[in-house]
Amino acid sequence: MVVPKIEVALSPEDFRKYPFLPEAIDRAKRLGITLNDLSTPALREVLDRAGTYVRAAIDSKALPLPADDYDIEILSYMTTLVLLRIVFDRMLIRRFAVLFSKRFSQFIASEDLIKIIYILHKIGIKVKILDEDFSGFNIVVGVLDYIENIPESKGPWKLVHRLVDRGWVFVNKFEVIRLGEEALKRFVEQRVESLQLDGLGLPNEVFSLVEEVSRDWSQKLKEIKEAWIPTDATGFEQALPPCMAAILENLRAGRNIPHSARFALASFLLNIGLSAEDVLDVFKAAPDFNERIARYQVEHIAGMRGSKKKYSPYKCDNMRTLGLCVAECKVRHPLQYFWLRRRGRVVRHEGS
């Protein structure tokens, strides 16, 4: 189906609030400003603001409101992306994207529907307004954009619970804004990752700002890691989430468990700090245990072989799809459950 073209007249105020819009970027590009110009006193504000944005991301604190001058805001946004591209840490980029889209959703909630739809088109969402309401819905979103941008894969958001028709999902204004917020995160992340900086000389002022934020971010990362990574995994069993405990119990009972469950348990245990040897010991209980094969697989998951990448364990959504979820724990990831328990928190869950 062809999505009809919507024309919306944008004001300077829109450029302030939505500096990622192609019209805004084009405007800034026409100014012909390069990174070298950022060291001039007139544009010092841009560099300062970009630094503030990146620091907010490092500390996960809300972004300040946009600059009053929309050109300054657009340039600051673009400079922030450049800084993030140079530091190039996926977690930091993600943090900025999250904060930026939070600020965005405050603004967009008060726009009229046509403008909302227009902006969502610009960040790549297939969406249109219906001529007449259908069961109380007046907007449809392309199903592939819908599933990529739902905030959670359960409850009312889950596709199985939605009205759908030939590739379109029916949504209301509130929901389409929420989908837009998720989509903007991905949009910003992709913008940063696709930036080409080859051969770009950095003026000293920009360079020292990059150095400064990189240092702050490394320090932050160190703190995050210290809070989450255990030094030893003794007594890990007391903090296992119900899904992992169930797999472990089946394994110990000599039941033959599916490959997906083995992978889930092995990757989980490796991520909470057990060594490959410890994990192999756990798997010795399997009825078909073959040391050679098991060692190969566990070492592969641990990132000691092949791609040299340590595998992350499945998150809750994936555990559910694989039929390995056994309770409703109100967390998104089995690891989250584990770390909360390790820090002495009680995680309530209902067996299902």
Binding to another protein by residue 330, rule CB under 8 A?
Answer: no
Closer CB to another protein, 104 or 168, in the complex? 168
Q: Of 44, 90, 158, 330, which one interacts with another protein (CB under 8 A)?
A: 158
Name the H helices within 195-241.
Answer: 204-228
Taking the complex as a whole, how short is the minimal distance between the CB of residue 338 and another protein, in angstroms? 21
Identify which range of 3-11, 162-170, 208-216, 292-300 contacts another protein by CB under 8 A: 162-170
Q: Of 62, 134, 237, 312, which one interacts with another protein (CB under 8 A)?
A: 134
Taking the complex as a whole, how short is the minimal distance between the CB of residue 4 and another protein, in angstroms? 17
Q: Of 11, 40, 208, 256, which one interacts with another protein (CB under 8 A)?
A: 256
Binding to another protein by residue 161, rule CB under 8 A?
Answer: yes
Name the H helices within the chain.
Answer: 12-17, 22-30, 44-59, 70-87, 90-108, 113-122, 143-149, 173-194, 204-228, 242-252, 259-271, 276-283, 291-301, 316-321, 334-342
Q: Of 23, 26, 133, 165, which one interacts with another protein (CB under 8 A)?
A: 165
- 3-state SS assignment for residue 230: coil
- 294 to each of 183, 246, 280, 312, how far by Cα in Å? 40, 20, 7, 18
Closer CB to another protein, 12 or 323, in the complex? 323
Q: Nearest Cα to 264, choosing from 91, 148, 250, 349? A: 250
Binding to another protein by residue 144, rule CB under 8 A?
Answer: yes
Identify which range of 147-155, 176-184, 205-213, 267-275 contacts another protein by CB under 8 A: 147-155
What number of residues does the chain have? 352
Binding to another protein by residue 310, rule CB under 8 A?
Answer: no
d(CA 328, CA 97): 29
Residue type, 266: A
Taking the complex as a whole, how short is the minimal distance between the CB of residue 145 and another protein, in angstroms? 9
- 3-state SS assignment for residue 198: coil
Q: Of 52, 105, 138, 153, which one interacts with another protein (CB under 8 A)?
A: 153
Binding to another protein by residue 215, rule CB under 8 A?
Answer: no
Q: Of 10, 25, 121, 142, which one interacts with another protein (CB under 8 A)?
A: 142
Identify which range of 142-150, 204-212, 234-242, 295-303 contacts another protein by CB under 8 A: 142-150
Which residue bears the tokens 């958001």?
157
Centre a 10 Å sphere on the Cβ of residue 278 and count the other Cβ atoms it contains: 14
Tokens standing for 75? Answer: 């340039």
In DSSP terms, 58 is beta-bridged to: none
Binding to another protein by residue 166, rule CB under 8 A?
Answer: yes
Identify which range of 21-29, 156-164, 197-205, 294-302 contacts another protein by CB under 8 A: 156-164
For residue 62, give the DSSP letter: P
Q: Nearest Cα to 142, choosing from 183, 111, 113, 92? A: 183
Where along the sequence are the contacts to another protein (CB under 8 A)? 1, 134-136, 142-144, 147-148, 150, 153-156, 158-168, 255-256, 260, 287-288, 306-307, 317-318, 320-322
